[in-house]
Amino acid sequence: MRIYALAVYLFLYIPIGVIALFSFNAGRHAAQFQGFSVQWYGKALTNPFVVDALQTSLTVALSSAVLATLFGTMAAMALQSVKGRLRLAFDALIYIAVMVPGIVIGIATLIAMVTLFDWLNPILAAVWPLAEGAPQLSLGYGSLIAAHGLFAMALVIIIVRARMAGMDRSLIEASADLGATPWGTFRQVTLPQIFPGILAGFLLAFTFSFDDFIIAFFVAGSQTTLPVYVFSSIRRGVTPEINAIGTMVLAVSLLMLITAQAILQRGRRAG
């Protein structure tokens, strides 16, 4: 079993290690290591197309993570008071949202948004006070943030609810018995206890949005996120610059995931 487990881990992580190794290649060919150099990291970070795609990914990831965390936390708290079959139905819908393949979410979101835009744009043109210049809704930042935020919200709900399940509810009852208002109880008792889960949910939502390619490919419109840029670039051949970009994205993603896991572990020990 140990040999089998070792073989599985090697199969999973050796290709990642090869990408990281060849990102330091001094040559121009991705598959021929010709010496150690960090030049491709510098070229990637000074490439205007990479910088623009990185800015788009960061903007979308931060915006969608904030929205997903805000609404996901509110939904998790609201679901605590739901009981019986209705609770089971909501639970099923939340887990289904996580389990549905990304390509299905991407296609469904694309069709829904295009249909909505086709319905709203004539209305905006009819009610717009100026003769010209009526806004036209289209795919772009808004569709990316909405699609990522909706999916990531399910992740936040699951994480925050897991944290609330281990929360000491006697403190909330004691706060109410001592005359605290609902808002005061939430701010001084509930929020400090569930904050590790909220922060971990935010980090995971940010990581998902930053790394996502499938959903972004369908709903990005004229915008280009970093994963979409990498996909477009490798169609012309893999270069050490692409390896450098992949390594940097991997490092950021691992850092976020490790941080989220550490926060959750610390919250469990504190609870």
Q: What per-residue confidence (pLDDT) applies to 60? A: 93
Q: 46-65 in b/e burial notation, b at 16+ Cβ within 10 A?
A: ebeebeebbebbeebbbbbb
Q: 97-106 in b/e burial notation, b at 16+ Cβ within 10 A?
A: beeeebeebb
Is 12 within a domain? no
Q: What per-residue confidence (pLDDT) applies to 233? A: 81
Is 263 within a domain? yes
**Domain assignment of residue 173, given as a range:** 54-270
Q: What per-residue confidence (pLDDT) applies to 264? A: 67
Q: What per-residue confidence (pLDDT) applies to 271? A: 56
Is 224 within a domain? yes
Q: What per-residue confidence (pLDDT) applies to 96? A: 85
Is 8 within a domain? no
Q: What per-residue confidence (pLDDT) applies to 68? A: 93
As given in the structure block, the two tokens for residue 227 are 């994963």
Is 47 within a domain? no
Is 232 within a domain? yes
Alpha-carbon gap, residue 209 to 140, rounded angstroms: 14
Alpha-carbon gap, residue 157 to 161, rounded angstroms: 6
Is 190 within a domain? yes
* Geometric angle at alpha carbon 65, from 139 and 158, rounded to 5°: 115
Domain count, the chain: 1
- Non-local (6+) Cβ contacts of 263 within 8 A are 196, 199, 200, 203
Alpha-carbon gap, residue 219 to 113, rounded angstroms: 8
Mean pLDDT by 10 residues, the chain (271 residues): 84 83 77 78 86 90 93 87 82 85 87 88 79 76 89 89 76 73 77 83 88 89 87 78 84 80 68 56
Q: What per-residue confidence (pLDDT) applies to 267? A: 60
Distance set, CA 17 to CA 13, 30, 39, 124 (Å): 6, 13, 19, 52
Q: What per-residue confidence (pLDDT) applies to 269? A: 64
Q: What per-residue confidence (pLDDT) applies to 85? A: 83
Is 21 within a domain? no
Domain containing residue 238: CATH number: 1.10.3720.10
